[in-house]
Structure 1
Amino acid sequence: MSLKRVYTVTGLIIAVIVLTVVLFSSWYTVDESDQALIMTFGKAEETITEPGLHFKLPWPIQRVEKLARETLKLEFGYNEKNGKTNETKMITGDENIVLADLVVQWKITDPKKYLFHSEKPQEILYNATSASLRSIIGSSKIDDALTSGKAEIEANVRELLTSLMDKYDVGISILAVNLKDVELPNQEVRSAFTAVTDARETMNTKINEAKKYENKRMNEAEGEKAAIIYKAEGEKSARLEAARGDVAVFNKLYEQYKTNPDITRERLTLETLEQVLPGAEIYIMNDDGNTLKYFPIRPLEKEQAKQSNEEGGSEE
């Protein structure tokens, strides 16, 4: 075989290899759950998020880094690894020990920063999650961590974790924080806390019952008060009306008195005697004390009443 032929065969082999490399390294696919970052001589260029078949310059001019575009999950707390449980203990603000279990939902929003601003961005996220959770638990009371304060703790952890990740600037965004579980470290402590919780619930129940009874008695007292005031207002109105009537009667008598004082005085005397002594017979006497033929007031009144009754019966 001549040297020329050897060179020719070698050149053909090299050309086939180069063509094969160019052919297979000039296209790539992006899944719906992925995003691709184009690297030109090691420099980050554009980010491809559209799924499907895409073309690029052959290697080693350009290469592709694929990253997840979907929501990722970080579990912090009780992680099963090699059959062992990693217990995460932390101290509350009132110096009690609890075990926390947290899930963080996060997403890669800037592939350039995720790849080049840090060597281990997920480790940074894990450490920031730990710091955020311990900080918030450390400023919370154990009752809040174990009972009704979980939602507030979640919100505070998310806010703090988001601010930390913004400062680290590694291209990660926090979507949600879910505090799965907060427990006491052992059964003895759990039993003691349960007893305290039961006692507190009993206390709250008694307080609520007392407030309910207090409200009931207050309502009854308010009702009685309103009834007394209403009755007093009625009596006040009645007495005012009676007083106005007495004033009207007095004014009328006074007008009569001004016209005929003697007659009015005698009439008032007789009416007063009738009221004080309703069954007494009235006699009209002279001033000298001698008994005159008296004017039979009572018999006349009875006779007049009898006649009135008879006339009324005959008309019927």
Structure 2
Amino acid sequence: NRRRLARPALAAALAILALNGFYIVRPDEIGLIERFGRKQLPYRGPGLHYKWPWPVERLTRIQAERVRVVEIGFRSNVAAPELEPPAYEWNVQHRAGRFQRKPEESLMLSGDQNMLEVNAVVHYQAARPDDFLYRQLDGELTVRTAAESVLQAVINATALDEILTVGRQAIEQRAETELQRRLDRYQAGVRVLRVKLLDVHPSTEVVDAFREVAGALEEKSRLINEAEAYRNQQVALARGSAQARLASARAYALARKHRSAGDAARFQLAEQAYRTAPGTTQMRLYLETMEQILPGKQKIIVDAGQARRQLMLVEEGVLLPQAPLSPPAATLREER
């Protein structure tokens, strides 16, 4: 009886062992086959496949298209939402909640020797699943270590102000390029998709000193803005004053030109009148001149009898002789 049952049992065992070689690869997976420990290419895509039963061949499934994330400087603890604080502030220690600080990874020195805490994430894919699995003892740990080293190098070569303000995108691009180059040198089989700086701030140990520096920088910016506003105001006033002076000079030049033209025209008319009636014009000009210079001055008119009258002008106590008046007069007057 045992002999008769041994053959069917052996056949059934062989059938089960043979059927055990069938396997299914899901749509988001890639199958890697090892035959006596040596990998077999190409990769097995989604669908039904067959392999030699163990121990001849062994199947390893990997989600090659899945985007993997490595956290630098912190860990996300999704298992403790009940301990979530109302808000995460960079200047306060966090000992509970989903955010777990890792100072051994986050503490870095900037290029100008300032202590910073850098929290970043690295998104990557297993571009070559066989290298990712077989060339590294732990692929994720390799990516994490390389990313931390690259971030340290990039931050150490960058000034604090650039890290905190306008230089973050450039830092991310440099870190991504350098991380991809380093992982290729390791033959890690990884394609880096993105290096993202989530939070960059001074360490909590230097919060007070950083606030003093920030206050001084704000005061400096305020004074600079006030000085620039005053400069702009004074420049505008100076430009306005210059334009006003230019306009006044143009008006003065135009007035002098017109006055000169009028004086020249008047002189020409007087010259023409003199040519027409010299005696009359000479007497008129003499009387107009006397009318302009005599008012407001002390005068002494001396009548010398039959001689011609003499006009004396008193200028600050000094007698200035003048031309004789014509016609002669018979009386003497004093005016003030």
**TM superposition score normalised by structure 2:** 0.65
Q: Does 1:233 align with 2:250?
A: yes
2:89 maps to none
The structure 2 residue matched to 1:124, chosen from 138, 142, 158, is: 142
1:181-206 deviation line (CA, Å, top 9, x unaligned): 3344444x211220121122112112
The one-letter amino acid paired with 2:41 is: E
The one-letter amino acid paired with 1:56 is: H
Q: Does 1:201 align with 2:218?
A: yes
CA contact (8 A) 1:75 1:104 kept: yes
State how far apart, in whole Å, the 1-side matches of 2:286 and 2:131 are: 117
1:14 maps to 13
The one-letter amino acid paired with 1:156 is: R
2:300 maps to none
The structure 1 residue matched to 2:30, chosen from 36, 51, 55, is: 36
1:261-302 deviation line (CA, Å, top 9, x unaligned): 8427567646645754569xxxxxxxxx998xxxxxxxxxxx
Q: CA offset at residue 30 of structure 1? A: 1.7
State how far apart, in whole Å, the 2-side matches of 1:7 and 1:128 are: 58
2:334 maps to none
CA contact (8 A) 1:37 1:111 kept: no
CA contact (8 A) 1:69 1:107 kept: yes
Aligned-residue RMSD, C-alpha: 3.6
The one-letter amino acid paired with 1:59 is: W
1:55 maps to 48
**Helix, strand or coil for the counterpart of 1:101?**
strand
State how far apart, in whole Å, the 2-side matches of 1:153 and 1:183 are: 15
Q: Give aligned-pair identity as a percent.
A: 22
The one-letter amino acid paired with 2:212 is: A
Distance change in 2, residues 1:193/1:266 (3 Å): farther
Distance change in 2, residues 1:239/1:47 (3 Å): farther
Q: Does 1:192 align with 2:209?
A: yes
Distance change in 2, residues 1:290/1:143 (3 Å): closer
Distance change in 2, residues 1:57/1:272 (3 Å): farther
The one-letter amino acid paired with 1:136 is: V
Q: CA offset at residue 225 of structure 1? A: 0.9
CA contact (8 A) 1:99 1:183 kept: yes
The one-letter amino acid paired with 1:66 is: I
**TM superposition score normalised by structure 1:** 0.69
State how far apart, in whole Å, the 2-side matches of 1:136 and 1:266 are: 105
State how far apart, in whole Å, the 1-side matches of 2:142 and 2:275 are: 118
2:133 maps to 115
1:101 maps to 119
- Determine which structure has the larger helix proportion and give its number: 1
CA contact (8 A) 1:114 1:121 kept: yes
Runs of 4+ in 1 over 6 A off after TM superposition: none
1:31-76 deviation line (CA, Å, top 9, x unaligned): 4xx3304437343423466xxx512233346745322412211111
The structure 2 residue matched to 1:140, chosen from 158, 175, 184, is: 158
Distance change in 2, residues 1:225/1:267 (3 Å): farther
The 10-residue stretch of structure 1 (58-67 or 129-138) with the greater mean CA deviation from structure 2? 58-67
The one-letter amino acid paired with 1:65 is: R
State how far apart, in whole Å, the 1-side matches of 2:189 and 2:280 are: 113
State how far apart, in whole Å, the 2-side matches of 1:35 and 1:247 are: 107
1:165 maps to 183
Q: CA offset at residue 164 of structure 1? A: 2.2
